[in-house]
Structure 1
Amino acid sequence: MSVVWLTGATIIDGTGADPIESCAVAVEDGRISALGGTPPAGAEVLDCTGLTITPGLIDAHVHFGGSSDLAPSLRRQISVAELAADMFATCASTLDGGFTTVRDCGGIDGGLAGVVASGKIPGPRIIQCGPIQCQTGGHGHLAAEWEPTSDWSDHDIPGLRCMSLLSDGPHEMRKNVRETFRRGADFLKLCVTGGVVSTHDKLTDTQFTVDEIEVAVEEANARGTYVTVHAHNNEGIRNAVTAGAKCVEHGSGIDDETAKLMAEHDVALVPTLAVVQALSDSAASAGLPESISARIGQMMQGQIDGLLAARNAGVRVGLGSDLIGTDQTGRGMELVLRAKVETPMDALVSATRINADILGIADEVGTIEVGKFADLVAFRGNPLTDPSIFADRERIALVIQSGRVVKDGR
């Protein structure tokens, strides 16, 4: 395979180092083969003069299984064909927006990840946990209030979507997480507190006992992977850290004591600000009742406070959007919001190097280094000086995934 050279761009390599002006990048067999230098005579060249190249962005918290209006999709008011079409469209739009890798935190079955990996539909590299693990009546159990719990599994669409599995007690947890791994999950996600998009709980509720969480951790460890937890209060987070979970999603209101505990146990945090903004603007856009806005309350500031406490304690802080509904094109807004809390460079490093580390794929992606996959995004302008660029699709000029050009709007 011939070497392709990208020339003339400013390179921000994702490590946190200063940008490098007009640095050439050579790509061969899907990987970065050289940084710097001059293309030889006759080489294939992509002229990127005036562009800024970063590593392919990583969203560490997506829900491709929630790509349709959520409530109708769980009431059999949307056909399986439309559900699949919405998921495929979300996969394509995510890649088009510069996100070359995602971690799906609950809802898809292994079939979606497989069909994207096969190249049959465009989309990012998908690392997924299959169904969410939740307790009866807990966050993730999204049935209507009148629906018998015994009917919940009837919503599963094998090979496409399974929103959650219900466990009450360590024995059921062990059975369900083993089933989840059988279906091809790469890691596990548990809900250990109530949530915003919930039917039967409050944000202050804690869910699952330490014993139940420990079973999931034991099974994950046996397969060389990890448990992450949805959590919106400190008690739930401390239970999960004590039980051995390695990542916390959302982390609203993390206090200094909890942040210190997370740092001591090398537990990462993935804040999700974009979904809070989106639901505050319009819950209906995700197919949810506007009354859900009342549950959001101080969620944005709570996540910001938790993020800053975690940073101060030395916790690895990644980045996720958590968007749901038919329009998930706003993933770049997560970097824009984070750049207002920290620096644009902090936001970018969280969305690249740190996310790759959290996902366990830092040897392959997340930074622009020789030997890694050529996952690259070229922006018109410099997002470090104008972070709004991250959310402006018209300013994404080029997207390359594993050395293959998947978008070229130069």
Structure 2
Amino acid sequence: MSDVWFAGGVVADGSGTGPAAVDVRVTDGTITAIGQAPAGTTAVDLGGMLLTPGLIDAHVHLGLSSPIRAQFGFRLSAAELAADIFATAGHALDAGFTTVRDTGGIDGGVVDVIASGKVRGPRVLSCGPVQCQTGGHGYYGAPWEPTELWDRHHIPGLCALSLMAGNADELRRNVRESFSRGATFLKLCVTGGVVGGHDRLADTQFTVEEIAVAVEEAAARDTYVTVHAHNNAGIRNAVRAGVRCVEHGTDIDESTARSMREHDVALVPTFAVIEQLMDTGNMDLDSSTRDRVTGTRQRMASALENARAAGLRIGLGSDLIGPHQQRRGEELRLRAELESPMQALVSATSVNADILGLSETVGVIRVGMRADMVAWQRNPLHDAAVFADPDMAVLVVKDGRIVKGKAR
């Protein structure tokens, strides 16, 4: 039996209440007491550091951890792709993220090896391949390549970016295939995207009836559908079909936000990837992608205001792609500029846990929860740039085990 107190720190529990100078007892991976550590007990000395819940990134792409054009061009070995995926998983953990939701790109084998402890990484929830319409967002075959050859780019057990469907029956088959390969939720692309192959941001993709097929299949397994969506028409289609979450939501207006609130549809904005795409030194992307990025950040900020005013549940996701995913906490820094460091922390912990269906186990520091926690060398609630620096996450605890740093 493992029993230890994390003592001498200040706790921001993820609920949004002010930090408190309390100690946290962890027994066999579960938080069993919050208060003052009795004298003489086994303790990890936090030395006055801020202790927060383990961070949650609700929008990651572990399977897109390699140079993008080389990966899509089928120019990398399975070994190199695997090395990049597992390195990114380790980077996420070192940045303080103990749970991530992979929204397209990995196969179930990646989830399993991380869960087994063979590879360092956070707890991973995965949709498996993204569901996209034939030739729609999520398809990156060469212009000359027949779409039916796309599945040959998949590496079973490792990475599979998307499955394409031309009608509702094909979509039903594909989502059942995804569930059989380990998906625990579904993601559909219902509009074009910024990193697009053959689509425009203004495009709507999949009909309401087609999206509803995925919702039906997910409901049959007691799970949900989230959608990649930028424009209001696509978002409204998805809301009518019964989805539970929207990723990006770049152009959400007041009426769309109200409709999402009426149907209890959550939003996961993604600011960090916009900053990443605008950094031409880091991204191997063509000029058309950079052109699409122009103005996106400002529109996404306006959408965030509309969502907050409507009372939506607003999570947090980085959407980082490519080999430069070490600074995953940039998403919290960017959100703090628009809201506050505390609001960013709450979105990245308790709200994200609720969106992911994990609110009974992670997301807050509370008795009965799994012991996922991060101690910060400097206080990120005073300076949100701390969230963006992995070196500031000096002690990371996942399921009660210290996975980064050393006990003092």
Q: Residue 38 in 1 paired to residue 37 in 2?
A: yes
Equivalents in 1 of 2:105, 2:42: separation in Å?
42
Partner of 2:328: 331
The CA deviation string for residues 272-323 of structure 1, in whole angstroms up to 9 with x for no partner, is: 00000010112x6243224421011111011111111011101100000000
Distance 1:158 1:5 in 2: 43
Q: CA deviation at 1:113?
A: 0.4
- Give the SS at the match of 1:335: helix
RMSD of the alignment, in Å? 1.0
CA distance in 2, matches of 1:19, 1:331: 23
SS in 2 for 1:315: coil
Counterpart in 1 of 2:365? 368
Given that 1:50 and 1:380 are in contact with CA atoms closer than 8 Å, whether structure 2 keeps it comes out as no
Question: Which of 296, 305, 308 matches 1:308?
Answer: 305
**Paired AA for residue 176 in structure 2:** R
Partner of 1:3: 3
Deviations 1:178-228 (A, max 9, x none): 111111100000000000111111100000001100000000000000000
Deviations, residues 226-275 of structure 1 (Å, cap 9, x unaligned)? 00000010000000000001000000010000000000000000000000
- Offset at residue 32 of structure 1 (A): 0.6
Please point out which of 98, 117, 122 is paired with 1:124.
122
Give me the whole-angstrom Cα distance separating, in 1, the residues matched to 2:256 and 2:278.
Answer: 27
What secondary structure is seen at the aligned counterpart in 1 of 2:166?
Answer: coil
Instruction: Give aligned-pair identity as a percent.
Output: 57
AA of the residue aligned to 2:33: A
How far is the alpha carbon of 1:40 from its aligned partner? 4.1
1:296 corresponds in structure 2 to 293
**Contact (CA 8 Å) 1:399, 1:408: kept in 2 or not?**
yes
Match of 2:26 in 1: 27
Q: Distance in 1 between matches of 2:2 and 2:39?
A: 12
Does structure 1 conserve the Cα–Cα contact (< 8 Å) formed by 2:333 and 2:388?
A: yes
Partner-residue secondary structure (3-state), 2:282: helix
SS in 1 for 2:246: strand
Deviation at 1:381, TM superposition (A): 1.9
> Size of the alignment, in residue pairs?
407
Q: What is the aligned partner in structure 1 of residue 212 from structure 2?
A: 214
State the TM-score, normalized to the length of structure 2. 0.98
Q: Of residues 383, 390, 405 in structure 1, which corresponds to 2:380?
A: 383
Residue 38 (structure 1) shift: 2.2
- Measured in 2, the distance between the counterparts of 1:94 and 1:373 equals 18
Match of 1:261 among 259, 262, 272: 259
2:405 alignment counterpart? 408
What amino acid sits opposite 1:274 in the alignment?
A
Residue 95 of structure 2 contacts residue 391 of structure 2 at CA under 8 Å; is this kept in 1? Answer: no
| 2:150 alignment partner in structure 1 | 152
Q: Structure 1: 5+ residue runs without aligned partners?
A: none
How does 1:7-406 map onto structure 2 within 5 Å?
A: 7-21=7-21, 23-41=22-40, 43-282=41-280, 285-406=282-403
SS at match of 2:36: coil
- Which secondary structure does the structure 2 equivalent of 1:285 belong to? coil
CA contact (8 A) 1:69 1:288 kept: no
Deviation, structure 1 residue 152: 0.4
